[in-house]
Amino acid sequence: MIEKFIKIVSSAVPLPIENVDTDQIIPARFLKAVERKGFGDNLFRDWRYRKDGTPNPDFVLNNPKYSGTILVAGKNFGSGSSREHAAWSVYDYGFRVVVSSFFADIFKGNVLNNGLLPIQVTEEFLFEMFDTIEKDPTAAFEVDLEKQAIRNINKSTELQFDINPYKKECLLKGYDDIDYLLSLKNEITAFENSRV
């Protein structure tokens, strides 16, 4: 079971960098845990901390101006490795929505499996979001999964986003894929028998 996702109204954290790959989201040296928890501490590790381990004040997550459960990132977010740790670290940190104008495939699949909603928006909408946040870091955005809409409240602009209907249903109800696959055991066995 995953956490149900229905509607979120929150301020957002801007990360206007393109092609953020999974090695940036969580460097490989932090993949050594054998549990799913605690990855949020190392989210964006090498940007977030200086070499001596102290927080880098220039990085957005260390700037107290910004907060919220929505991460807004530049184009092609999540490229690179298939490590699901990237999705866990974004979720574990406290984000529930990631907005970008483009997502890498595997990353998108991984976040959806973990109750995190990836919203692909137009470049125009993305830039407007960055602009809104820059002018007012407390600016709120509304994400309504049922309506498949994201709203920039300050600007009164709204955008419909796409999501696979099956994934939408899972997120809304808090189901996961394994519950569904287990219901198909007989079909799977029949499929195996039909091939020999």
Partner 1 sequence: MEPTTLFDKIWDAHVVNKIEGGPSVLYIDRHFIHEVTSPVAFSGLEGRGLPLFRPQNTVATPDHNVPTIEQHLPIREELSRKQVETLTANCERHKIPMYGLSHKWHGIVHIIGPELGITQPGMTIVCGDSHTSTHGAFGAIAFGIGTSEVEMVFASQCILQPKPKKMRINVEGKLAQNVTSKDIALYVISKISTSGGTGHFVEFAGSAIRDLSMEARMTLCNMSIECGARGGMIAPDETTFAYLKGREEAPKGAAWDKKLAEWKKLKTDDDAVFDTEYTFDAVDITPMITYGTNPGMGVGVEGSIPTGDELAGSDKATFLKSLEYMGFHPGEKLKGKKIDYVFIGSCTNGRIEDFRLFADYIKGKKKASWVTAWIVPGSKQVEQQIREEGLVEIMESAGFALRQPGCSACLAMNDDKIPEGKYAVSTSNRNFEGRQGPGARTLLASPLMAAAAAVNGVISDPRD
Nearest to 80 by CA among 101, 106, 99: 106
Interface residue with partner 1 among 23, 128, 144, 158 (CB under 8 A) is 23
Size of the site for partner 1 (CB under 8 A): 53
Residues in 152-191 at the binding interface with partner 1, rule: CB under 8 A: 164-167, 176-178, 180-182, 184-185, 187-188, 191
**Could you say whether residue 52 binds partner 1 (CB under 8 A)?**
no
Which is closer to partner 1, CB of 10 or CB of 76? 76
* In contact, 145 and 171? CB cutoff 8 Å: yes
Which is closer to partner 1, CB of 31 or CB of 149? 31
Three-class DSSP category at 59: coil
* In contact, 101 and 121? CB cutoff 8 Å: yes
Sign of the torsion angle spanned by Cα atoms 134, 137, 138, 141: positive
Which is closer to partner 1, CB of 23 or CB of 158? 23
- Which residues lie closer than 8 Å to 78 by C-beta, 6 or more apart? 20, 21, 22, 25, 86, 98, 100, 103, 104, 106, 107, 108, 111
Distance CA(137)–CA(61), nearest Å, equals 13
Q: Which two tokens stand for residue 100?
A: 């970008």
Region binding partner 1 by CB under 8 A among candidate stretches 27-35, 56-64, 65-73, 132-140: 27-35
Interface residue with partner 1 among 9, 10, 40, 46 (CB under 8 A) is 46
CB atoms < 10 A from the CB of 79, how many?
A: 19
Q: Shortest Cβ distance from residue 9 to partner 1 (Å)?
A: 28
Which is closer to partner 1, CB of 108 or CB of 159? 108
Positions touching partner 1 (CB under 8 A) are 16-19, 21, 23-24, 27-29, 31-36, 46, 51, 74-76, 79-85, 87, 102, 104-106, 109-110, 113-114, 164-167, 176-178, 180-182, 184-185, 187-188, 191-192
